[in-house]
Structure 1
Amino acid sequence: MAINNSTHILVIRLSAMGDVAMTVPVILGVIKKYPQIKITVLTKSFTAPIFADIPNVSVFKADVKGKHKGFKGLWRLYRELKSLDADVVADLHNVLRSTILKQFFRFSSIPFIQIDKGRAEKKELINPNRVSLQPLTSTFERYADVFNKLGYPIATNEMGFLSSKPIPETLFDLNVTKGMMLIGIAPFAAFQGKMYPLPLMEKVIKILNNTDKYNIVLFGGGKKEIEVLNTWEQQYNNCHKAAGILSFSDELNLISNLKLMLAMDSGNAHLAAMYGVPTLTIWGITHPYAGFYPFSQPKENALLSDRNKYPAIPTSIYGNKYPEGYENVMETISPETVVAKVIEVLNSNI
């Protein structure tokens, strides 16, 4: 598809937070390589701050639970998007909502390219009877393929990082100690199959806390998660809860200044990686080979559950399905192993 450099591209990626964050390196690369284009990202209001500092990029907020809900709401959304005068649409989501929008855009004869999510390959990856375990095309490459089909080829080595931001003044509302290294821990994930057991994570926090070398910032959200973080913050003097105190924009500012982020196969890992922050991830029944490994992170930064003991891993792409007996796969990763890796990564990036 032949496109000129002054094209206005509408990019669709509504959710989830990690998948939205994964668009950033690709969009940065496209904007840098083709500086005359304009991009509007259709996403949910909560994720809009992710794109705040990208030149030539604006955000259109989808209200999928309000005025853009249902078929009539999507028609209204289409009418609003049409007024933006986009030349082409890059659908990086490819779900029912965006597919309905695709049908509407046909009325306007606006080119609409959808991501190939590789559903068949992913289904085979989690097949316990698979012949071998091989890495699939990464999500970044799948996003880039959409731009390639629009006439904007972008290679992985042309993608980019967001620059670090000023440390938010609200950081000091967390009572951090000046002069100590700032690291983040995001212990939660959307599904239990991707979450390191909390008692083991607490041991990690205890060991790191007792070194008196680190300000440990805890990330999470939701009432139950915040209750856990409150307990840890009260128990460990070098732990500081960001959830419920900082706005999402301030959290992003803070994340951009971390020396390390320890996270699950989850959104916070991708938020850190889009700033080039060293990101250490812990994996349960999912696996980096599914294509969701944080951008440009060394493969050694992934701590994997023991596949010798649990050979069916990965049993799920999203962490929501696992066979009987696979409930405790992450217990094969000891807290001491996690701490040693944290220290190793920190030392290698000093």
Structure 2
Amino acid sequence: MKKILILRFSAMGDVALLVPVVKSLTAAYPDVEVTVVTRPKFGPMFFDIERVTVFPADVDYTYTGIFGLRDLFRKLMRKGPYDLVMDLHDHIRTKILRSLFKLFGSRVVVFEKGRAEKKAFSRKENKITTPLPHTVERYYKAFEKAGYPFKMLEAPYLSLSESIQSASGWFGYKKSMEVTKWIGIAPFAMHKSKIWPLENYPLLIESILQKTPAKFFLFGGGEKEVKFFESLKQKFPKNCEVIAGQLKLRQEIALMQHLDLMLCVDSSNMHLAALSGTPLLSIWGGTHPDVGFGPYNYTYETNIVQISREELSCRPCSVYGREKCFRGDFACLNRITPEMVSERVLQRFQ
């Protein structure tokens, strides 16, 4: 068996986008074993992939600083040796680790992050807006460079065992509600420039319910997010279920696979839904899918709601999101109305 070590600590969406690549790699090479080194909370995404193990590395507490990384390296070496070390993060932590692996004779390949072209795409003036390679493609190219070309598998990539799919208890309930559309709502992201104004959601839900029976499942996490979801449930007690804080990651993914549609923003929940093969509609503001982080293998014209660059040439103002707006009014988000989104949602059910 050949042993490959992959380094990728964050963010959640970037780690999720590793899944189709790792799954396709092991399917193409039955003589390969893969160890993914990532934050513990992201590990469950890889649990169902054959010949893939996760090394949970808590780089925020257990393996902090130079000495923490040294300890992490020693533990990884004891599980080696590795035929190949893939740095698919290219961050200060992984730069230190890959240097240590090189020093001890391991072959190391680093993926092309495309920092300069992403910066040119998102800068304030004189943008260069040629669509950039998707992050999944960048990961794949790194393996191709390492001598492991393969054909990408078809979705779904996050395929969970049947026991996990039935664990949350929601699915028997759905069978008695076949005429009711199941719509996931994931309205939150790390940065303000990605978040569609929250006051739009009650209007959106009301508009959808006027046209079709629907059950809304509210995805997220954190005290503020749960508080907002509880306010929606109070307004629509028979139509909203708060998932945030109720299910573990794999159960959330299992629930996503039963949705008729996931309504989301540019976030990790968007990537999880896309990798699950779930129909989705994603609202984009300060970021742009052409930078390389759109829902993988989805048609942007059908699955993205955004104000065009012809109307707002300032888009995108950032690769990953930001807290301030070049214009000062977040027009990229505020010009998207509940009526526009409702119409796009209902079109998906026709």
**Shift in Å at residue 181 of structure 1?**
2.7
Which residues of 2 match residues 190-209 of structure 1 at below 5 A?
190-209=190-209
Q: TM-score, normalised by structure 1?
A: 0.91
Which residue identity lines up with residue 93 of structure 1 in the other structure?
H
| Paired residue secondary structure (1:10) | strand
- Kept in 2, the 8 Å contact 1:200–1:335? The answer is yes
Which residue of 2 is the match for residue 80 of structure 1?
A: 75
- Kept in 1, the 8 Å contact 2:170–2:255? The answer is no
**Shift in Å at residue 158 of structure 1?**
6.8
Q: What are the superposed Cα offsets for residues 51-100 of structure 1, whole Å, 9 maximum, x if unpaired?
A: 11111111000011222111100000000111121221111111011001
Which residue of 1 is the match for residue 24 of structure 2?
A: 29
**Shift in Å at residue 259 of structure 1?**
1.9
Task: Provide the rounded CA distance (Å) in 2 between the counterparts of 1:235 and 1:175.
Answer: 22
> Tell me, which stretches of 5 or more residues in structure 1 are unaligned?
1-5
Which residue of 1 is the match for residue 242 of structure 2?
A: 241
Which residue identity lines up with residue 177 of structure 2 in the other structure?
K
Confirm whether residue 56 of structure 1 aligns to residue 51 of structure 2: yes
- Kept in 2, the 8 Å contact 1:212–1:238? The answer is no
Which residues of 2 match residues 239-278 of structure 1 at below 5 A?
239-278=240-279
Task: Provide the rounded CA distance (Å) in 1 between the counterparts of 2:306 and 2:158.
Answer: 27
| Paired residue secondary structure (2:225) | helix
RMSD of equivalent CA atoms: 2.2
**Shift in Å at residue 172 of structure 1?**
3.9
Which residues of 2 match residues 188-337 of structure 1 at below 5 A?
188-211=188-211, 213-236=213-236, 237-300=238-301, 301-320=303-322, 321-337=324-340
Which residue of 1 is the match for residue 126 of structure 2?
A: 130
- Percent of aligned positions that are identical: 37
CA 1:161–1:335 in 2, change beyond 3 Å: closer, same or farther? same
**Shift in Å at residue 305 of structure 1?**
2.2
Which residue identity lines up with residue 235 of structure 1 in the other structure?
K
Which residue identity lines up with residue 14 of structure 1 in the other structure?
F
Task: Provide the rounded CA distance (Å) in 1 between the counterparts of 2:40 and 2:319.
Answer: 26
Task: Provide the rounded CA distance (Å) in 2 between the counterparts of 1:310 and 1:83.
Answer: 53
- Kept in 1, the 8 Å contact 2:34–2:53? The answer is yes
Instruction: Please identify, of 273-282 and 337-346, the stretch whose mean Cα deviation from structure 2 is larger.
Output: 337-346
| Residue from 338, 344, 347 that aligns with 1:344 | 347
**Shift in Å at residue 115 of structure 1?**
1.5
**Shift in Å at residue 160 of structure 1?**
6.2
Which residue of 1 is the match for residue 177 of structure 2?
A: 178
**Shift in Å at residue 208 of structure 1?**
2.5
Task: Provide the rounded CA distance (Å) in 2 between the counterparts of 1:343 and 1:246.
Answer: 28
Task: Provide the rounded CA distance (Å) in 1 between the counterparts of 2:25 and 2:16.
Answer: 15
| Residue from 115, 122, 125 that aligns with 1:119 | 115
Task: Provide the rounded CA distance (Å) in 2 between the counterparts of 1:113 and 1:313.
Answer: 33
Confirm whether residue 140 of structure 1 aligns to residue 136 of structure 2: yes
Which residue identity lines up with residue 313 of structure 1 in the other structure?
R
**Shift in Å at residue 269 of structure 1?**
0.4
**Shift in Å at residue 18 of structure 1?**
0.8
> Tell me, which stretches of 5 or more residues in structure 2 are unaligned?
none
| Paired residue secondary structure (1:293) | coil
Which residue of 2 is the match for residue 3 of structure 1?
A: none
- Kept in 1, the 8 Å contact 2:45–2:158? The answer is no
Task: Provide the rounded CA distance (Å) in 1 between the counterparts of 2:89 and 2:127.
Answer: 29
* Number of residue pairs matched by the alignment: 342
Instruction: Please identify, of 189-198 and 293-302, the stretch whose mean Cα deviation from structure 2 is larger.
Output: 293-302
Q: TM-score, normalised by structure 2?
A: 0.91
**Shift in Å at residue 109 of structure 1?**
0.8
| Paired residue secondary structure (1:60) | strand
| Paired residue secondary structure (2:189) | coil
**Shift in Å at residue 169 of structure 1?**
4.0
| Residue from 91, 102, 124 that aligns with 2:87 | 91
- Kept in 1, the 8 Å contact 2:134–2:291? The answer is yes
Which residue identity lines up with residue 299 of structure 1 in the other structure?
Y
Q: What are the superposed Cα offsets for residues 179-225 of structure 1, whole Å, 9 maximum, x if unpaired?
A: 32322110001101001110112321222344452221110111101
- Kept in 2, the 8 Å contact 1:186–1:220? The answer is yes
Which residue identity lines up with residue 230 of structure 2 in the other structure?
N
| Residue from 75, 85, 103 that aligns with 2:99 | 103
Task: Provide the rounded CA distance (Å) in 1 between the counterparts of 2:154 and 2:209.
Answer: 38
Q: What are the superposed Cα offsets for residues 247-270 of structure 1, whole Å, 9 maximum, x if unpaired?
A: 222111111222221111110000
- Kept in 1, the 8 Å contact 2:183–2:261? The answer is yes
- Kept in 2, the 8 Å contact 1:264–1:281? The answer is yes
CA 1:165–1:228 in 2, change beyond 3 Å: closer, same or farther? farther
Instruction: Please identify, of 93-102 and 107-116, the stretch whose mean Cα deviation from structure 2 is larger.
Output: 107-116
